[in-house]
Structure 1
């Protein structure tokens, strides 16, 4: 073989080795990125579980109104990303029903934009739902606590 063929063969081998190194590096970066995404997801889920347990305990101790707690817990459950996550509508019917009552009610600044008679009417609806659903909500709270209490960090 002539020198030209040897030079071309070495150049081709160098190019292939460089591309293989580059592909390996890209695979490593993808693997690291997926591990970071999984760790971020686990941290988020842990934060959500900690919050669910904290709010559930507050509801159980009557430190938090059932309607407010149900609204907050429902949103947290919606954001929870677990492989074995149960359907919250069937798993926590009391919290679901309370959420359905209060989800469209104005809060904070929006509440101040409505006249007082309308706000009183909404408060009566909310308070009646709290009384009617109290036992169901507290049963759901107990179920949440028994399900997630062991997973609380710190």
Structure 2
């Protein structure tokens, strides 16, 4: 009789442990599914962001080649977008015109900070920017055409 009690108790312990293990496995699988879903959402957002960066570069580049965007503004915007899209593409030696224009204007104040400059400094900066645009026009346009061609191949 004692063996039946011990056997029954053993069966209950094993059943309890099996149930507990089943619950832990169920929770583990649910956690893995949540992590996979979160990863998929993250990857999709990352892909959408990359596509946004690419589309923005293509749009600004085309607008610049059609003289709808100033060279200095295009260089500044494209360079920052390119650094975020694919840092290894943002090399001064690969796009010397774009980089030279970007390097010229990157520290110039914009928006409210520009409005706070005195007129003499504002004219000096505008003159420097305009002269740099004139000097680098062909090089910038060549760089933009090359960059657009490269990115459209990957697009």
Provide TM-score, normalisation by structure 2: 0.90
Which of structures 1 and 2 has the bigger CA Rg? 2
Distance in 2 separating the partners of 1:127 and 1:81: 29
Q: Which residue of 1 aligns with 2:78?
A: 73
Unaligned 5+ runs, structure 2: 1-5
Provide TM-score, normalisation by structure 1: 0.90
The Cα of 1:148 is off from its aligned counterpart by 2.2
Q: Which of 90, 95, 105 in structure 1 is aligned with 2:93? A: 90
The structure showing larger relative contact order (alpha-carbon pairs under 8 Å, at least 6 residues apart) is: 1
Stretches (4+) displaced over 6 A: none
Q: Deviations over 1:56-82 (max 9, x none)?
A: 011101111100010011111122158
Unaligned 5+ runs, structure 1: none
Alignment: residue pair count: 150
Moved more, 5-14 or 27-36: 27-36
- SS of the residue corresponding to residue 107 of structure 2 reads coil
The Cα of 1:54 is off from its aligned counterpart by 0.6
Q: Supply the RMSD in Å over aligned alpha carbons.
A: 1.6
Q: Which residue of 2 aligns with 1:49?
A: 54
Q: Which residue of 2 aligns with 1:3?
A: 8
